């Protein structure tokens, strides 16, 4: 089950999409679904534990034009900070 939350009350806070319990291909599909609901300039932080996410999410972002601002791994959790852009057609 995925969850969505704001990390704090500030307008600049990224939306947090917690996908740590999901397995491939769901982290990528849920990330895609959430990005389509956001406006350019907004930020999304994705948390995922599926190893395929480390490869799949950055590759998909390059293809669509969204900006991967930061990608980190702590233990078995991958964290992606994404700046929403207009999607390439």
Enumerate the active-site residues.
24
Cβ contacts of 7-16, under 8 Å, gap ≥ 24: 7/45, 12/43, 14/42, 14/43, 14/44, 14/45, 14/81, 15/42, 15/43, 15/44, 15/45, 16/44, 16/45, 16/47
């Amino acid at each position: 089950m995925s969850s969505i939350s704001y990390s704090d009350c500030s307008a600049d806070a990224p939306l947090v999409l917690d996908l740590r319990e999901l397995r491939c291909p769901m982290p990528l599909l849920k990330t895609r679904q959430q990005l389509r609901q956001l406006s350019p300039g907004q930020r999304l932080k994705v948390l995922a534990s599926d190893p395929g996410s480390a490869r799949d999410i950055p590759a998909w972002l390059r293809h669509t034009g969204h900006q991967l601002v930061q990608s980190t791994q702590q233990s078995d959790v991958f964290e992606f900070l994404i700046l929403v852009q207009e999607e390439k057609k």
